[in-house]
């Protein structure tokens, strides 16, 4: 199932009718493209006034306006797959075939899924009978695959002068072979209107060696624990079976449980569009169909009731809402921005703390600063140990090395810290013998707790408030010091070295590495809402604990 192109780099074009109620037609197609992460374009062949109860009216678009639209798309948007649906009448069918043949002639026709839509789920004719010949003569041979259902297959075989009724899997296989031969392309005959059993599938395989079966959402051997644990349609004996006969003769049977649901409006459009998304990505036909069948199957399974009749599938089951904006060149730090922006008040109380302001003015009482640096000595031990836990939780040498380098930096800074303390008359012995304050214990304990409880990512979150906050304080004080008539005093400020350290290149380099590691987390492992909430809580808690640390210094609390 290896794709050669990422979904986000694929454009897929549908040429089909509109279903204003949104469940079928180009609406279902565009939703399916979006649900696969592909860019969608859509050319309209006809409009319908319809809803889940049926088609009220059809309004065909002039053929020349259909081809104008096709040219507009194919001449400008690099297109990686095309899907056709309702073509309404012979004139539109011929026009579409003519334009696609033209692009084929220029070597510009991408993989093409032709869904020969003839009749709506509700029974309304969507293709005039005289168009069937056009499909055969002009359109099918351009297609990578055609995807008729049972009645469309019967109608097409009748048109080709080889009528047959389809009531068994064997009939389906024979019909697929005939249709492939008449249409010169691969054929997927869809069995949604037949009911089969696993035994019938096995019999078919026994009779046709080389035939491959792909079973989907079927509880199979070695799944006794799931079989007994619930009674559901996964265990049902009623299967829906589609048969793919590829033009080179390979045959594949796709089997899945039948779902008893009225949410089947637009199933055919959805399947064909999902196959087109697979082909656009370079996935081989058989695998593209397997993926598309499962996507459509789950779309029916997870549908919510909409409208009073046959409701639409749930097209969006394959996507989740993102929680953090994408990282881009012009917005490289969306997650750090998000964290700060969403905890603005707590962050401001931390980085613009009175302690910081008094320190900037050089008026902070020495005893408060001394209380702070003594406790900081204890805190740094916790902080280093937490990076030890981070190393233990890392899964790459790069990550282990990065955590370890931080510990080495902290150990080195402890040397500077001691020297700095001495300038304030605090000896190493005094540092070691200072009792740990409640604020220090709370913060240190929290780091170790997170380090034991959570994974690498959560621990990184816990370590960031300290790293980034001191960086912010350093830069802020430095910036303010450079303003005219500044309130910050550097000359004669006993804390000048402290300000210079945190605003200096060495520390700021570490801040940038920290921000990078936070942003990389999000790209590598986009969090669910629950996980993001957890991370935000950790960040907020540490921000508050940082503020508490400076509160402690100001009140000289133990």
State the Cα–Cα distance between residues 408 and 491, nearest whole angstrom: 32
> Contact between 72 and its own copies (CB under 8 A)?
yes
> Contact between 512 and its own copies (CB under 8 A)?
yes
Nearer to its own copies, 315 or 378 (CB): 315
> Contact between 463 and its own copies (CB under 8 A)?
no
> Contact between 508 and its own copies (CB under 8 A)?
yes
Distances in Å between the Cα of 113 and the Cα atoms of 56, 140, 344, 483, 532 are 27, 9, 52, 66, 40
Give the three-class secondary structure for 215: strand
Nearer to its own copies, 400 or 554 (CB): 400
Shortest Å, Cβ 169 to its own copies = 23
Among 198, 211, 442, 475, binds its own copies (CB under 8 A): 475
Of 436-455, which residues contact its own copies (CB under 8 A)?
Answer: 452-455
Of 111-140, which residues contact its own copies (CB under 8 A)?
Answer: none
Among 1, 5, 68, 365, binds its own copies (CB under 8 A): 68
Tokens of 115: 């869904």
Shortest Å, Cβ 81 to its own copies = 14
> Contact between 476 and its own copies (CB under 8 A)?
yes
Nearer to its own copies, 310 or 371 (CB): 310
Q: Considering only CA atoms, which of 376, 347, 346 is closest in space to residue 498?
A: 376
Nearer to its own copies, 4 or 395 (CB): 395
Shortest Å, Cβ 91 to its own copies = 16
The count of residues interacting with its own copies (CB under 8 A) is 119
Edge-to-edge order in the sheet of strand 186-189: 54-60, 39-51, 11-19, 81-84, 112-114, 145-146, 186-189, 239-245, 251-257, 212-215
> Contact between 296 and its own copies (CB under 8 A)?
no
CA-based end-to-end distance of the chain: 63
Shortest Å, Cβ 94 to its own copies = 19
Shortest Å, Cβ 8 to its own copies = 7
State the Cα–Cα distance between residues 450 and 456, nearest whole angstrom: 10
Shortest Å, Cβ 312 to its own copies = 8
Only one of the segments 238-246, 422-430, 467-475, 482-490 lies at the binding site for its own copies (rule: CB under 8 A); that segment is 467-475
Among 2, 225, 423, 429, binds its own copies (CB under 8 A): 225
Among 105, 106, 123, 230, binds its own copies (CB under 8 A): 230
Shortest Å, Cβ 226 to its own copies = 5
Nearer to its own copies, 158 or 385 (CB): 385
Binding letters toward its own copies, positions 158-197, x by CB under 8 A: ----------------------------------------
Among 80, 286, 371, 393, binds its own copies (CB under 8 A): 393
Among 80, 83, 190, 315, binds its own copies (CB under 8 A): 315
Q: Is 432 exposed, middle or buried (0-12, 13-18, 19+ CB in 10 A)?
A: exposed
Only one of the segments 283-291, 428-436, 511-519, 542-550 lies at the binding site for its own copies (rule: CB under 8 A); that segment is 511-519
Of 325-354, which residues contact its own copies (CB under 8 A)?
Answer: 325-326, 328-333, 336-337, 340, 344, 347-348, 351-352
Nearer to its own copies, 109 or 468 (CB): 468
- Beta bridge partners of residue 44, listed in sequence order: 16
Distances in Å between the Cα of 290 and the Cα atoms of 37, 55, 76, 109 are 18, 30, 31, 24
* Residues 475 and 503 sit within 8 Å (Cβ to Cβ): yes
Give the three-class secondary structure for 70: helix
Give the three-class secondary structure for 61: coil
For the range 519-522, what are the long-range contacts, defined as Cβ-Cβ under 8 Å and sequence gap of 24 or more? 519/327, 519/332, 519/333, 519/334, 519/335, 519/336, 521/335, 521/457, 521/460, 522/324, 522/327, 522/334, 522/335
Among 167, 232, 427, 482, binds its own copies (CB under 8 A): 232
> Contact between 500 and its own copies (CB under 8 A)?
no
Only one of the segments 23-31, 140-148, 284-292, 484-492 lies at the binding site for its own copies (rule: CB under 8 A); that segment is 23-31
Among 283, 292, 298, 463, binds its own copies (CB under 8 A): 298
Among 49, 164, 363, 365, binds its own copies (CB under 8 A): 49
Only one of the segments 38-46, 134-142, 246-254, 435-443 lies at the binding site for its own copies (rule: CB under 8 A); that segment is 38-46
Shortest Å, Cβ 317 to its own copies = 5
| Element holding 204 (H helix, E strand) | helix 198-207
Distances in Å between the Cα of 54 and the Cα atoms of 43, 203, 305, 436 are 23, 38, 16, 75
Nearer to its own copies, 111 or 454 (CB): 454
For the range 473-481, what are the long-range contacts, defined as Cβ-Cβ under 8 Å and sequence gap of 24 or more? 473/351, 473/356, 473/502, 474/499, 474/501, 474/502, 474/503, 474/504, 474/507, 474/508, 475/503, 475/508, 476/351, 476/352, 476/356, 477/356, 477/359, 477/360, 477/503, 478/503, 480/360, 481/360
Dihedral, CA of residue 299, residue 305, residue 308 and residue 313, to nearest 10: -10
> Contact between 309 and its own copies (CB under 8 A)?
yes
Q: Considering only CA atoms, which of 495, 198, 550 is closest in space to residue 355?
A: 550
Of 192-211, which residues contact its own copies (CB under 8 A)?
Answer: none
> Contact between 401 and its own copies (CB under 8 A)?
no
Nearer to its own copies, 141 or 391 (CB): 391
State the Cα–Cα distance between residues 256 and 235, nearest whole angstrom: 10
Nearer to its own copies, 42 or 196 (CB): 42
Among 160, 174, 181, 302, binds its own copies (CB under 8 A): 302
Distances in Å between the Cα of 157 and the Cα atoms of 28, 161, 271, 548 are 28, 6, 22, 80
């Amino acid at each position: 199932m290896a794709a050669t192109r990422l979904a986000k780099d694929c454009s897929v074009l549908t040429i089909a009718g509109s279903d204003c109620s949104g469940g079928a037609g180009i609406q279902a197609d565009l939703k399916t493209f979006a649900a696969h992460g592909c860019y969608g374009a859509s050319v309209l062949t006809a409009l319908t006034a319809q809803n889940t109860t049926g088609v009220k009216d059809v309004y065909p678009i002039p053929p020349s306006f259909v081809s104008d639209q096709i040219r507009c798309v194919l001449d400008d948007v690099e297109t990686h797959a095309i899907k056709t649906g309702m073509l309404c009448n012979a004139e539109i069918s011929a026009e579409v075939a003519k334009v696609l043949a033209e692009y084929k002639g220029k070597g510009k026709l991408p993989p093409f899924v032709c869904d020969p839509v003839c009749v709506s789920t509700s029974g309304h004719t969507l293709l005039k009978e005289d168009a069937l010949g056009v499909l055969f003569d002009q359109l099918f041979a351009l297609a990578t695959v055609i995807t008729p259902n049972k009645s469309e297959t019967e109608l097409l075989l009748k048109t080709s002068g080889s009528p047959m009724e389809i009531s068994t899997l064997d009939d389906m296989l024979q019909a697929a072979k005939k249709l492939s031969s008449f249409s010169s392309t691969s054929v997927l005959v869809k069995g949604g209107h037949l009911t089969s059993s696993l035994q019938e599938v096995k019999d078919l395989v026994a009779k046709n060696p080389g035939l491959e079966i792909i079973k989907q959402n079927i509880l199979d051997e070695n799944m006794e624990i799931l079989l007994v644990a619930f009674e559901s349609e996964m265990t049902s004996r009623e299967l829906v079976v589609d048969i793919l006969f590829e033009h080179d003769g390979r045959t594949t049977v796709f089997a899945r449980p039948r779902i008893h649901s009225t949410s089947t409006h637009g199933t055919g459009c959805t399947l064909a569009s999902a196959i087109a998304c697979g082909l656009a990505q370079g996935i081989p036909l058989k695998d593209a169909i397997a993926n598309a069948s499962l996507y459509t199957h789950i779309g029916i399974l997870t549908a919510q009731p909409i409208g009073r009749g046959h409701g639409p599938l749930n097209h969006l089951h394959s996507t989740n809402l993102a929680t953090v904006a994408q990282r881009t060149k012009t917005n490289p730090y969306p997650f750090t921005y998000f964290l700060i922006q969403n905890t603005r008040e707590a962050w401001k109380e931390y980085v613009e703390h009175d302690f910081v302001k008094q320190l900037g003015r050089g008026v902070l009482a020495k005893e408060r600063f001394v209380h702070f640096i003594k406790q900081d000595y204890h805190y740094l031990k916790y902080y280093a140990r937490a990076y030890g836990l981070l190393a233990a939780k890392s899964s790459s040498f790069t990550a282990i090395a990065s955590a370890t380098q931080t510990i080495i930096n902290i150990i080195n800074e402890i040397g500077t810290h001691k020297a700095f303390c001495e300038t304030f008359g605090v000896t190493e012995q005094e540092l070691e013998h200072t009792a740990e304050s409640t604020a220090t214990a709370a913060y240190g304990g929290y780091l170790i707790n997170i380090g034991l409880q959570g994974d690498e990512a959560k621990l990184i979150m816990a370590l960031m408030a300290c790293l980034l906050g001191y960086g912010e304080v350093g830069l802020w004080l430095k910036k303010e010091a450079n303003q005219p008539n500044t309130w910050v005093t550097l000359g004669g400020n006993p804390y000048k070295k402290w300000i210079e350290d945190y605003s200096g290149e060495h520390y700021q380099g570490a801040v940038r590495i920290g921000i990078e590691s936070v942003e990389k987390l999000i790209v590598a492992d986009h969090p669910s809402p629950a996980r993001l909430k957890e991370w935000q809580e950790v960040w907020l808690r540490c921000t508050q604990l940082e503020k508490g640390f400076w509160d402690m210094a100001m009140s000289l609390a133990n």
